[in-house]
Amino acid sequence: MHDFAVSKQTWCNYTIVCGEYRAFAFDYSMWKMFRELRLVGRLTRQRGTIPQMCRLYSSGTNNNDSEPFLSYDKDPAPAFMRDDVQQLLKSITRLELDKVFRKRSVKDNTVEYRFMTDDQLRQELVQSIGHAQQMLQMPPVVQEQQDNCRVISKDGALKAFSTSKFVFTDITYGLKNSQRSIVVRHPDGTLQEAPYETRKRLNQVYFPLTGRSIHQPPMFESVHLQRLLEEGKYEFVLDRACVQFEPYERDYHQITARVYQHINDSRSFDALRSTRHFGPFVFFLAWHRLVDDLLLDMVKKDYLRNAIELIVLYSTLHGTALDEGLKQLVLQPQMPNLFDAPEKSIDEMKQDEQFLAVIEKFVHEHGTKKVQLNLAIQAYREVATEKLQLAQGIRRMHGES
């Protein structure tokens, strides 16, 4: 036997929780209960309590529906979930312990100091890396879900029984929200599966998720969201979006796309680098062929290996030609650089020259900002050549071959 809850929706599309029952059949007792519910609703309206209930259970409206945004033309999940793509995105994210474990505005923000031996410090560092990798787990990138409200039945005998809609919710304990049966009885007698917004609202009413609001928070409205973006609070907005929305909701796609575009336009890549959102951000740019500014930033910051990984990701998503040996090179597992990198060796400098040639070829074939990228590559090559000559001179002075 399943437990069901019945709700009544008034003409203004607000929800009022009315009661619970133990069966899902329209018999005489159900008809009698409906009459009682109508009486309760009439008395409630006379007492003037509906406006307060309406505010409590009204669904939030998105003021950004009319604004265009970059969306995925097909399901990105198969490409995003590939092992090689995940490995590339994790490497591009760059694990930085100082940023992952930075102080945050939370209740418990204490720091613990302990005396350790070298072995204990090494073990603690390994554990910290594992914990940091868990904290950098990326939100999934999936296709936007479309509503498919299947009509279950049409009962003409129930037509004009009520001017309101009745929503039936399966409140059986232990079911996932996506598996829960929620249907709507329309005034014309049609029994139909509930649309997603109704499902989400009622699931939050009966089984609330921590941090999620029944209505959409005002921060996601266009005016407030633009102010947050101008203040550079990208991670805060994305973290809140992950709590409020599911990754397949249109609002989630719209808000994340707007945040990603603002970051790319302002070139504020360090705001998300070494956070759980940097991987989906890079995937978004590579999918929509908007990698020029990020590639330029990587060249300027001497992240040439990340730049090659970005090119490999671009090639994987769009099927462009790429040397297979280079792809295998960047897919080799590499220990994250946790501290300030020492001076590069001569072999690393020579490898960087090979990376520059690959980047230069990519810019020539697929770049949209060729002038800026070529100037950055030329400047990097001049500095790298001087460093290489200096390192070779020092080696000869020490009698090394």
What's the CA gap between 91 and 93, in Å, rounded? 5
Q: Rounding to the nearest 10 degrees, give the CA dihedral for residues 13, 16, 20, 21.
A: -40
Cβ-contact 240, 98 below 8 angstroms: no
Q: Is 209 left (phi over 0), alpha (psi -120 to 50) or beta?
A: beta
Whether the pLDDT of residue 271 is over 80: the answer is: yes
Return the CA Rg of the chain: 28
Q: Please check the confidence at residue 25 and state whether its pLDDT lies above 60.
A: no
Identify the three-state secondary structure at position 182: strand
Q: Residue 237 and residue 275: Cα distance in Å, rounded?
A: 13
The answer to whether 290 and 317 have CB atoms below 8 angstroms apart is no
| 270: three-class secondary structure by DSSP | helix
Task: Look at residue 396 in the predicted model and tell me its pLDDT.
Answer: 80
Q: How far apart (Å, rounded) are the C-alpha atoms in residues 353 and 340?
A: 22
Q: What is the DSSP string of 72-131?
A: -SS--HHHHT-HHHHHHHHHHH---HHHHT---SSS----------HHHHHHHHHHHHHH
Instruction: Name the pTM for this structure.
Output: 0.79
Task: Spell out where 10-54 has E strands.
Answer: 15-21
Distance in angstroms (rounded) separating the CA atoms of residues 7 and 59:
15
Q: Average of pLDDT values for 391-398?
A: 80
What does the pLDDT read at residue 86?
95
What six digits make up the tokens of 137?
């787990």
Secondary structure class of 209 (helix, strand, coil): coil
Least confident of 49-53, 165-169, 200-204: 49-53
Q: Which of 246, 262, 288 is nearest to 76 (CA)?
A: 288
Q: In this predicted structure, what is the pLDDT of residue 341?
A: 59
pLDDT digits (tens, 9 = 90+) for 136-168: 999 999 999 888 889 999 988 888 888 899 999
DSSP bridge partners of 185: 166, 191
Reply yes or no on whether the pLDDT at 28 is more than 60.
Answer: no
**292 with 368: CB under 8 angstroms?**
yes
Element (H, E) at 52: helix 50-57
Residue 232 has phi, psi (to 5 degrees) of 80, 20
The per-residue pLDDT for 39 is 47
pLDDT classification of 47: cutoffs 50, 70, 90: very low
The 8-class DSSP code of residue 249 comes to S
Look at residue 158 in the predicted model and tell me its pLDDT. Answer: 86
Helix spans in 288-342 (H): 292-300, 304-318, 324-330
Distance CA 2, CA 32 (A): 21
Q: Which residue has the higher pLDDT, 140 or 324?
A: 140
Place of tokens 């009962």: 155
Q: Which of 37-51, 69-83, 169-183, 372-386 has the lowest mean pLDDT?
A: 37-51
Q: Indicate the domain borders of the chain.
A: 289-333+344-400
Q: How confident is the model at residue 314 (pLDDT cuts 50, 70, 90)?
A: very high
Q: Based on the number of CB atoms within 10 Å of its own CB, is 182 exposed (0-12), middle (13-18) or buried (19 or more)?
A: buried
* Cβ atoms of residues 378 and 372 within 8 Å: no
Per-residue pLDDT, 303:
93
Q: Which residues pair with 151 in a beta bridge?
A: 192
Contacts of 148 (CB under 8 A, 6+ apart): 193
Main-chain dihedrals φ then ψ at residue 378, nearest 5 degrees: -65, -45
pLDDT of the residue at 18: 40
Instruction: Band the pLDDT of 191: cuts 50, 70, 90.
Output: very high
Give me the sheet containing 4-9, strands edge to edge.
15-21, 4-9, 165-170, 182-185, 190-193, 151-154
